Amino acid sequence: MAEQKTKVLGAVFYPGFELLDMFGPLEMFGHLTGVVEIKTIAQHAGPVASAQGPQAVAEHGFDDCPKLDLILVPGGIGSRTEVENPAMLGFLEKCAGEAEIAMTVCTGTALLAQTGVLDGRRATTNKAWFGWVASCGPKVEWVKEARWVEDGKFVTSSGVCAGIDMALAVIQRLAGAQVSETLATQTEYEWHRDASWDPFAKVHGLV
């Protein structure tokens, strides 16, 4: 049997990204040694400030980004600016087209929606900002009540902590249910396994 190729996950940063949107999922993916290798990407290599202040370091800029098998796009207040950034949108459109799995958390879904790659597909996002994100993709089939949504290779999640649940679901795809269960236990994380579980849709008047 041929040895499984390690998949490269591109974590895409931008100024004003939400810390837990990115580092919650990366905590989970980072345990998959030999299965997933994480690369940090931004428009330009170097430090990128989060919405909360702490900086992350992008190893690669768009120009020298390696081939990505998986991509992860966080939300955050900076997404309001990035939906108008042609460099970001062009990069995401290209990467989403080539990737095996494209993941977004929270308002990060607005960025993929703005490129058009989600047109005709089911997707969700943070329920507090649902209207704005939906306006970025009028041809997307928006799901108002969902913790996360899987439509082919596109996997989109609700707000912030929901990204961890989404990540564990994707890891189940890549490495099996037992690996996801073990990760949830080791990190003492209460994994919501039901993608339709979404009390926040009601809180924000969507259902």
Active site residues: 106
Element (H or E) spanning 157, and its range?
Answer: strand 154-157
Q: Given the structure tokens 């949504």, which residue do they identify?
A: 149
Residues 6+ apart with CB under 8 A from 160: 18, 20, 21, 24, 75, 105, 106, 126
Question: Residue type for 178, please?
Answer: Q
142 close to 123: Cβ distance less than 8 angstroms:
yes
Q: What is the rounded distance in angstroms from the CA atom of residue 121 to the CA atom of residue 152?
A: 9
SS3 (DSSP) at 134: helix
- Among residues 66, 63, 71, the alpha carbon closest in space to that of 43 is found at 63
